[in-house]
């Protein structure tokens, strides 16, 4: 009968025997992050932890001293992915001239091929995972969308991923087939998490961009030549991307621009002195053709510009508040 091989995560540090190398924590991190430099070498002497590696996936939990800890890493040659969280301290990470601050238990995704500066003001438990580039079956744009931003531990796919990682680190005497199955499940779940986080990032960015486009429209109502291509150039995106932003809100760029011009013209008709002609108002709000302005105004509000001006003047003389169309 063939004997089933068993796999046991590596335990190291303070409680694993006198023969255990005191710098094993450094060796573990070097395999995942590159060469390590620590602000205080003596403070981390005897750091304990767990380590698991299988099918390219490397996982570790380090139990650092409960004191400020800061270290620098060189990065790896491989453009893989690093997942990191501090459980008992906020964490600050700097990479590629970017800086992110994560609360305790929140997760940060990082690229493995660039140097890192990691600061834990209160030390404590640090969890880290490394996945080489060849196992990342995901579009690069999705991965880039989640890098260097704190991910809340409340995210459900993230909780599942963490559960798998915790199981692999703490389960004793796993068989080869069992360990391989767990790693494959981890790999299968990761694209689900990345896709959801990338979608969340896109949804968070889109309203800001839409707000910016609407602000540009408001600033260019008098420019009859202002169009979607101008807005796209200002935003550094394609005209199609701008159109999609408006389609998500149930309208189009052209319709929104027309409605804002009509709204501005309506307000001017109600508030400006009658010495300004309706033709001039049309020009003032980006309409090259006064006849088109009148048709569009009547279609939108159900009355002609001259009718609104007349009713506004009568309301002013009588002391009543004019009905806003």
pLDDT in tens, 183-199: 998 998 888 888 888 77
The per-residue pLDDT of the chain, averaged, comes to 86
Q: Is 70 left (phi over 0), alpha (psi -120 to 50) or beta?
A: beta
Look at residue 321 and tell me whether its pLDDT is greater than 50.
no
Domain 6-203 falls under CATH 3.30.1300.30: no
Q: What are phi and psi of 273, to 5 degrees?
A: -65, 150
pLDDT above 90: percentage of residues in the chain: 50
**pLDDT at residue 312, rounded to an integer:** 76
Please report where in the chains the tokens 């906020």 appear, as a residue: 90
pTM over 0.85: no
Which residue intervals of the chain bear CATH 1.10.10.60?
Answer: 220-325
Q: Give the domain 220-325 fold.
A: Arc Repressor Mutant, subunit A (1.10.10)
pLDDT in tens, 214-266: 999 999 999 999 999 999 998 888 999 999 989 988 999 999 999 999 999 99
**pLDDT at residue 268, rounded to an integer:** 86
Q: CB count, 10 Å around CB of 193? A: 22
Which residue intervals of the chain bear CATH 2.60.120.10?
Answer: 6-203
pLDDT in tens, 6-48: 678 888 875 544 455 567 888 899 989 999 999 876 778 778 9
**CA distances, 130 to each of 30, 134, 235 (Å):** 11, 12, 35
């Amino acid at each position: 009968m063939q004997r089933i091989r068993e796999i046991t995560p590596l335990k190291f540090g303070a409680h694993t025997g006198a023969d255990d190398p005191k710098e094993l924590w450094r060796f573990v991190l070097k395999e995942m992050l590159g060469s390590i430099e620590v602000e205080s070498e003596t403070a981390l002497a005897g750091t304990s932890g767990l380590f698991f590696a299988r099918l390219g996936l490397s996982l570790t939990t380090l139990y650092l001293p409960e004191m400020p800890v800061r270290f620098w890493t060189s990065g790896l040659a491989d453009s893989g992915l690093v997942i990191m969280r501090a459980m008992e301290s906020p964490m600050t990470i700097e990479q590629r001239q970017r800086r992110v601050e994560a609360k305790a238990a929140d997760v940060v995704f990082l690229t493995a091929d660039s140097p890192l500066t990691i600061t834990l003001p209160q030390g404590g438990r640090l969890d880290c995972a490394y996945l080489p580039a060849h196992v990342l079956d995901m579009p690069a744009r999705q991965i880039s969308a989640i890098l260097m931003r704190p991910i809340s531990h409340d995210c459900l796919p993230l909780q599942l991923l963490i559960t798998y990682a915790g199981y692999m680190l703490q389960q004793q005497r796993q068989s080869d087939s069992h360990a391989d199955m767990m790693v494959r499940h981890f790999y299968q779940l990761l694209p689900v998490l990345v896709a959801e986080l990338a979608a969340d990032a896109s949804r968070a960015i889109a309203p800001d961009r839409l707000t910016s486009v609407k602000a540009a429209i408001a600033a260019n109502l008098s420019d009859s030549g202002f169009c979607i291509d101008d807005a796209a150039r200002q935003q550094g995106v394609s005209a199609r991307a701008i159109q999609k932003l408006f389609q998500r809100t149930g309208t189009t760029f052209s319709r929104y621009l027309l409605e804002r011009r009509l709204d501005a013209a309506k307000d001017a008709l109600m508030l400006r002195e009658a010495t300004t002609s309706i033709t001039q108002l049309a020009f003032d709000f980006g309409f090259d053709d006064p006849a088109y302005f009148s048709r569009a105004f009547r279609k939108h509000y159900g009355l002609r510009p001259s009718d609104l001006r007349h009713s506004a003047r009568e309301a002013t003389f009588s002391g009543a508040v004019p009905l806003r169309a």
